[in-house]
């Protein structure tokens, strides 16, 4: 984007802020919605917090996110606070209020997690919930549980006092009628972490809200006892790095469903964005931003080649793999082995739609497993938007762009291409190219001219262009 006189500013206040992923969310949405705004992280020391907030307002900053360690202290510098943020005692989003002459505080962390679990079909109403941890995040989770009508909330923490304090605060709010969905005033039960065996209920919904298991300490989990997990139906880990924490692994091993909370991170940002810009961000954009977040948090070392049949995905792919000492992986070959049928047979028995579905299933699997590979994909693979996103999760996507005539010359003798078994294959290629070119362009990170037939020349240009 080009910054001009009308460009608005939003940002993040915290310390440290260097590793924040919020710019991916906010600048990504502005870019996709063509909204003239930039989002910048600001490192602010505690002593400077109040002047930073007042200064931001005077500088006409549209809105701010607030992160550790300022989520509580920032409240003193605001002109207003949303009820839910007030009850949780933490603010992560500041919305400009011209009439009041300052910022009003919101807690979109809680709203983000709530949106995530609702989307995953997790209904807390009438349920027994266990929350592991009693830090800032856990408090927001307790509030969410009461708001959504949970029957009982066991709050387990290493330091019992902290769990006790949150339980007292939240039970009091429930008693005072301050939380709409709360239906009993002693729902929150504080416990020491070691008291998990005293929980008698089954089908528990558990939120893991400690920092145990966070990368790089991926082999630890706050409770490891199998007897606890036998009672767990759903586990949500607020940690999103690694993608599957030890806690999630144990929940799954005991037959439960497990989720990480990367979507919480996405949605807290999206909800803040919507409050600032008074827009609704549509799902397609959310999906794209989510892929971008996953690429940042779980980077994979793969190169994915897409393009029409005959564009050189296999020939050039093998050459590139050899040059880079990477493995070569052909999705069509993999599908043939997996289905124990040739592509032609799959088309004949399951139709094109059946084949496309197999491609999607395979990509989902590969997005979790493939690393260090040059991947050659089927020509139609990126046509589904879902597949296009999965390909980006797998690695850097290069579209090998080749002229129609060159394609025709490369494939005209090849009888294995089911889609070209027609009277006028050249006409068919032209038709398909017109249809597919924009979809390849949408699906890729880079468009590369691959008209040359010499793999050595292709390799040199890819290197010289800084693509690989």
CA dist 384 and 388 (Å) reads 6
Complex with ligand NDP: residue 65 or 302, whichever CB lies closer: 65
222 forms part of the interface with ligand NDP (CB under 6 A) = yes
CA distances, 174 to each of 55, 108, 115, 150, 197 (Å): 37, 21, 22, 12, 27
Could you tell me if residue 108 is left (phi over 0), alpha (psi between -120 and 50 degrees) or otherwise beta?
A: alpha
Complex with ligand NDP: residue 88 or 265, whichever CB lies closer: 265
Size of the site for ligand NDP (CB under 6 A): 25
Candidate ranges 169-177, 211-219, 277-285, 338-346; the one touching ligand NDP (CB under 6 A): 211-219
Q: Quick one: which of 88, 209, 236, 286 contacts ligand NDP (CB under 6 A)?
A: 209
Candidate ranges 77-85, 261-269, 369-377, 380-388; the one touching ligand NDP (CB under 6 A): 261-269
210 forms part of the interface with ligand NDP (CB under 6 A) = yes
Phi–psi pair at 303, nearest 5 degrees? -115, 125
Complex with ligand NDP: residue 158 or 323, whichever CB lies closer: 158
Question: Which residues, numbered 357-396, are part of the site for ligand NDP (CB under 6 A)?
Answer: none
Greatest CA separation for the chain:
79
Question: Which residues, numbered 425-444, are part of the site for ligand NDP (CB under 6 A)?
Answer: none
Q: Quick one: which of 74, 138, 397, 444 contacts ligand NDP (CB under 6 A)?
A: 138
Whether 381 and 375 have beta carbons less than 8 Å apart is answered as no
Complex with ligand NDP: residue 240 or 316, whichever CB lies closer: 240
Complex with ligand NDP: residue 25 or 81, whichever CB lies closer: 25
Whether 105 and 180 have beta carbons less than 8 Å apart is answered as no
- DSSP one-letter code for 423: S
Encoded one letter per residue, x for contact with ligand NDP by CB under 6 A and - for no contact, window 107-136 reads --x-----------------------xxxx
Is the N-terminal amide bond of 211 cis, ω within 30° of 0? no
Active site residue 71: yes
CA dist 62 and 85 (Å) reads 19
137 forms part of the interface with ligand NDP (CB under 6 A) = yes
Nearest residue to 358 (alpha-carbon basis) of 380, 337, 335, 341: 335
Is the N-terminal amide bond of 242 cis, ω within 30° of 0? yes
Could you give the 3-state DSSP secondary structure of residue 131? strand
Closest residue to bound ligand NDP by CB: 135
Complex with ligand NDP: residue 113 or 394, whichever CB lies closer: 113
Q: Quick one: which of 46, 72, 123, 159 contacts ligand NDP (CB under 6 A)?
A: 159
Q: Quick one: which of 214, 297, 447, 452 contacts ligand NDP (CB under 6 A)?
A: 214
Q: 71, 231, 263, 396: which is the annotated catalytic residue?
A: 71
Question: Which residues, numbered 43-102, are part of the site for ligand NDP (CB under 6 A)?
Answer: none
Candidate ranges 15-23, 155-163, 327-335, 382-390; the one touching ligand NDP (CB under 6 A): 155-163
Block residue for tokens 């709360």 = 182
223 forms part of the interface with ligand NDP (CB under 6 A) = no
How many DSSP H helices and E strands does the chain contain?
17, 17
- Tokens read off for 378: 């089927």
What DSSP assignment string belongs to 59-71?
TT--EEEE-TT-T
CA dist 154 and 152 (Å) reads 7
261 forms part of the interface with ligand NDP (CB under 6 A) = yes
Encoded one letter per residue, x for contact with ligand NDP by CB under 6 A and - for no contact, window 227-256 reads -----------xxx----------------
CA 399 to chain CA mean position, Å: 24
Where does 395-466 have alpha helices with state H? 404-411, 425-443, 455-464
State the catalytic residues. Answer: 71
Residues that bind ligand NDP (CB under 6 A): 109, 133-138, 157-159, 162, 193, 209-212, 214, 222, 238-240, 261, 264-265, 268
């Amino acid at each position: 984007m080009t910054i001009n006189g009308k460009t608005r500013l939003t940002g993040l206040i915290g310390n440290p802020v260097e590793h924040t992923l919020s710019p991916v969310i906010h600048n990504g949405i502005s870019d996709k919605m063509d909204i003239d705004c930039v989002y910048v992280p600001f490192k602010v020391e505690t002593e400077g917090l109040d002047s930073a907030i007042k200064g931001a307002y005077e500088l006409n900053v549209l809105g701010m996110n607030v992160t550790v360690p300022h989520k509580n202290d920032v409240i003193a510098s605001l002109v207003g606070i949303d009820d839910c943020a007030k009850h949780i005692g933490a603010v992560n989003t500041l919305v400009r209020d011209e009439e009041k002459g300052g910022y009003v505080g919101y807690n979109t962390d809680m709203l983000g997690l709530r949106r995530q679990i609702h989307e995953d079909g997790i209904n807390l109403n009438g349920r027994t919930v266990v929350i592991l941890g009693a830090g800032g995040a856990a408090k927001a989770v307790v509030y969410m549980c009461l708001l959504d009508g949970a029957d009982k909330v066991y709050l387990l923490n290493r330091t019992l006092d902290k769990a006790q304090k949150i339980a007292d605060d939240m039970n009091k709010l429930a008693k005072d009628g301050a939380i709409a969905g709360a239906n009993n005033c002693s729902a929150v039960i504080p416990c020491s972490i070691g008291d998990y065996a005293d929980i008698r209920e089954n089908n528990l919904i558990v939120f893991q809200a400690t920092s145990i298991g966070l990368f790089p300490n991926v082999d630890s989990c706050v409770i490891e006892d199998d007897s606890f997990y036998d009672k767990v139906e759903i586990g949500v880990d607020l940690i999103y790095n690694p993608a599957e924490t030890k806690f999630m692994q144990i929940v799954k091993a005991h037959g439960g469903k497990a989720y990480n909370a990367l979507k919480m991170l996405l949605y807290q940002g999206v909800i803040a964005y919507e409050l600032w810009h008074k827009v609704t961000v549509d799902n397609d954009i959310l999906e794209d931003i989510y892929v971008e977040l996953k690429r940042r948090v779980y980077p994979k070392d793969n190169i994915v080649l897409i393009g029409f049949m005959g564009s050189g995905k296999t020939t050039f792919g093998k050459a590139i793999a050899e040059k880079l000492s990477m493995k070569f992986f052909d999705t069509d070959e993999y599908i043939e082995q997996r289905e124990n049928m040739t592509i032609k047979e799959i088309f004949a028995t399951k139709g094109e739609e059946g084949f496309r579905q197999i491609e999607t299933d395979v990509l989902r699997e590969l997005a979790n497993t493939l690393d260090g590979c040059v991947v050659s994909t089927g020509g139609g693979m990126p046509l589904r938007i879902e597949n296009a996103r999965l390909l980006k999760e797998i690695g850097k996507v290069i579209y090998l762009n080749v002229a129609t005539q060159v394609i025709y010359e490369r494939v005209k003798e090849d009888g294995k291409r089911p889609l070209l078994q027609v009277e006028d294959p050249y006409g068919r290629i032209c038709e398909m190219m017109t249809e597919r070119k924009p979809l390849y362009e949408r699906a890729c990170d880079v468009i590369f001219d691959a008209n040359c037939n010499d793999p050595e020349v292709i390799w040199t240009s890819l290197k010289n262009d800084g693509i690989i």
